Structure 1
Amino acid sequence: MADLDLRHLRSFLAVARESNITRAAQQLHLAQQAVSAHIQQLERALGATLLVRTSRGVRLTAAGDELAAGGKALLGDLDALTARVSTVADGQAGRLRLVCKPHATHEFALEVAEALEAALPRLEVELVSVSTLPEELELLESGGADAAFLWVPTGDERLRYAEVRTDRRMVALPVTHPLAGRASVTLADLADEPVIIPKVVVSDEVLRHWLAEPRPDGRPARRGPATQRIEDRLLLVARGRGVWLAPEPLSRYFPMPRVCWLPVEDAAPSHLALAWTARAPEALMTRVAAEVRALTGWDSRPLSGVRDTP
């Protein structure tokens, strides 16, 4: 099989189309000598004469006619293939696997998937549900998911992320608690309350965030019992074993008759982010982040919120 150089084939097709080497060279923005050299190298590779010069320009031989017909189709298929590969590489085609915790994303996940599939008809969005941060991180690390929605900090410095929503911090209290009738509370009001600890945290930084540390007076939070499932944390709250600090969407997703939720005025908010690894198409991640921000009210903020952790 002849080893064809696509530059030589493109030069030949331009000459075949123009029936003139000079005009073909002008069209290709090449010197006439370069185009002539391309034709000669192509003829040597194929072992055939492709054109003959005439007083009016050039004329294709039978072999040249055959190459002109097949070469045009070949380059057309190659250009189409290149475009398809670029589309897939940019994440505009194929499957996008988004992993999320339903309690964090129930207000927008389906809308994001539908918006992306409407905008990019060759893209299929698969939503994968998990319950904990470690499950999300494991799917990202193993390649089982392309991106994840999670609150930052994540405890994994390898991840890139773009914040897509800000949630005020709420506290879950038993309805019998002396503070339960208040419209809101402060961290000072909760200073002596044991805080239930999520067992699923993956680093000290993440734990400090969920305990709202350091407190305004510099003291650490009083540690309460630790448990993994959100439902178990709320049962502990209902039984008076401690309070639990969580982003506001959880108060709407997990209502319980014997638990009340109050905003914590001076607690730092939680930031939900779209996180991904270096394997994910950067252009598509930017598109997903923009879609989510439009749905959550972040559309007025610049997408420069994309962070590349060191």
Structure 2
Amino acid sequence: MIDLEVRHLESFIAVAREGSITRAAERLYLTQQAVSAHVKHLERALKVTLLIRTHRGVVLTPAAEELVAGGRAVLAEVAQLAERVRKIAHERTGTLRLAFCPYSMTLFAAEVAEAVETMVPGLTVELASVRTPREELALLDAGDADAAFMWLPIGDVGLRYAPVRTDKRAVALPADHRLADRGRVTFADLADEPVVCPDMFTSPEAERHWIADPRPDGTPAPRGPRVAQIEECFLMVARGRGIWLAPEPLARWAPAMNIRWVPIADADPVDLAVVWADRAADDLIATMIAEVRTLVGEPIDGIDRVA
């Protein structure tokens, strides 16, 4: 493919119009050396002579006359293309409805909404806070939300998703627990500890994942009390009824009183994902995913998957 650059073509057409490299350089606010180099690059790329230099300026060759005619059309098309791209990127209007669970996600969701609205002027991002992942799925299924932030896995629910952040896992322990002062623990340390199980998971697969059942050595996880809400998990842990396994960001949201969060050394990390239904506008979803990954600063392979 011939190596032609728009800036070289612009310089050449300015020379043709002015009849002088000096005057073309002044018009383009470039040095004479830069303009001359641009023209020479075109001549090498096209393997033709474009300019005959004289003491009174330059004379165009027949090849140069053809390049002027076609080059002007190319530059006009490039300018029109750039304008169309800018219009699509910056004049999109509408609403993007984003659901999330409030625990550790409120400030993050607000930051994402602000970034996406800045990137797409005219777009409004509406945030819907719900209590459980099941409620997020209900909003997506009913068409009352376009996308949601959810930790994977969510099971076979027929939705598309893209991971945007990876989080470590931690365990919530009573403040007086024998492991509460550890810098980290393993599943072997937690082998006999019953796990509090909130009744909010989107699938049996998700429930097994979040309570780490089975454990790395193949043994079943001891199941503790089943509760309806996240708040009850903290209550059960604080009262010594069991432990709770959760993404580490929840440790920054949960009250520290009577609870200690300890990282789990041998737990697989968990992915936070943008989840959306086919009815959502792909271009807006793609913009949001790109902005989230920019905010997080953590590129992740795999842009679009199906759950």
Q: Using structure 1 for the length normalisation, give the TM-score.
A: 0.68
Separation (CA, whole Å) in 1 of partners of 2:112 and 2:217 = 41
Separation (CA, whole Å) in 2 of partners of 1:130 and 1:104 = 13
Q: Is the contact made by 1:108 and 1:295 (CA closer than 8 Å) also made in structure 2?
A: no
Match of 1:225 in 2: 225
Match of 1:140 in 2: 140
SS at the partner of 2:287?
helix
Q: Is the contact made by 2:194 and 2:224 (CA closer than 8 Å) also made in structure 1?
A: yes
Separation (CA, whole Å) in 1 of partners of 2:192 and 2:297 = 36
Q: Note the alpha carbon deviations across 1:195-230, whole angstroms, 9 max, x for none.
A: 000111132101111111221110110000010211
Cα offset, 1:107, TM superposition: 4.2
SS at the partner of 2:193?
coil
Q: Is the contact made by 2:96 and 2:284 (CA closer than 8 Å) also made in structure 1?
A: no
Pair 1:273 & 2:283 matched: no
Q: How does 1:265-304 map to 2 (within 5 A)?
A: 265-298=265-298, 300-302=299-301, 304=302
Separation (CA, whole Å) in 1 of partners of 2:105 and 2:241 = 28
Q: How does 1:203-282 map to 2 (within 5 A)?
A: 203-282=203-282
Q: Is the contact made by 1:91 and 1:283 (CA closer than 8 Å) also made in structure 2?
A: no
Cα offset, 1:111, TM superposition: 1.5
Q: Is the contact made by 1:159 and 1:276 (CA closer than 8 Å) also made in structure 2?
A: yes
Separation (CA, whole Å) in 2 of partners of 1:126 and 1:202 = 23
RMSD (Å) for aligned C-alpha atoms: 2.0
Structure 1 residues 91 and 212, CA gap change in structure 2 (3 angstroms): farther
Q: How does 1:148-167 map to 2 (within 5 A)?
A: 148-167=148-167
Q: How does 1:4-19 map to 2 (within 5 A)?
A: none
Separation (CA, whole Å) in 2 of partners of 1:308 and 1:231 = 31
Cα offset, 1:189, TM superposition: 0.4
Q: How does 1:69-88 map to 2 (within 5 A)?
A: none
Match of 1:3 in 2: none
Cα offset, 1:102, TM superposition: 1.8
Counterpart of 1:201, as a letter, is F
Structure 1 residues 247 and 218, CA gap change in structure 2 (3 angstroms): same
SS at the partner of 1:108?
helix
Match of 2:306 in 1: 308
SS at the partner of 1:97?
strand
Q: Using structure 2 for the length normalisation, give the TM-score.
A: 0.69
SS at the partner of 1:111?
helix
Separation (CA, whole Å) in 2 of partners of 1:157 and 1:205 = 11
Q: Is the contact made by 1:97 and 1:145 (CA closer than 8 Å) also made in structure 2?
A: yes
Separation (CA, whole Å) in 1 of partners of 2:224 and 2:186 = 18
Cα offset, 1:119, TM superposition: 1.5
Cα offset, 1:256, TM superposition: 3.1
Which is worse superposed, 152-161 or 254-263?
152-161
Counterpart of 2:187, as a letter, is L
Counterpart of 2:241, as a letter, is R
Counterpart of 1:213, as a letter, is D
Cα offset, 1:87, TM superposition: 5.8
Q: How many residues align?
A: 222
Q: Note the alpha carbon deviations across 1:162-187, whole angstroms, 9 max, x for none.
A: 00111100100001110111100001
- Structure 1 unaligned spans of 5+: 1-82
Counterpart of 1:191, as a letter, is A
Pair 1:113 & 2:121 matched: no
Counterpart of 2:177, as a letter, is H
SS at the partner of 2:103?
helix
Separation (CA, whole Å) in 2 of partners of 1:257 and 1:136 = 29
Q: Is the contact made by 2:104 and 2:252 (CA closer than 8 Å) also made in structure 1?
A: no
Structure 1 residues 199 and 141, CA gap change in structure 2 (3 angstroms): same
Match of 2:9 in 1: none
Counterpart of 1:262, as a letter, is V
SS at the partner of 2:249?
helix
SS at the partner of 1:181?
coil
Q: Name segments (4+ residues, structure 1) moved above 4 Å.
A: none
**Percent identical residues:** 52
Q: Is the contact made by 2:91 and 2:121 (CA closer than 8 Å) also made in structure 1?
A: no
- Structure 2 unaligned spans of 5+: 1-83
Separation (CA, whole Å) in 2 of partners of 1:99 and 1:202 = 15
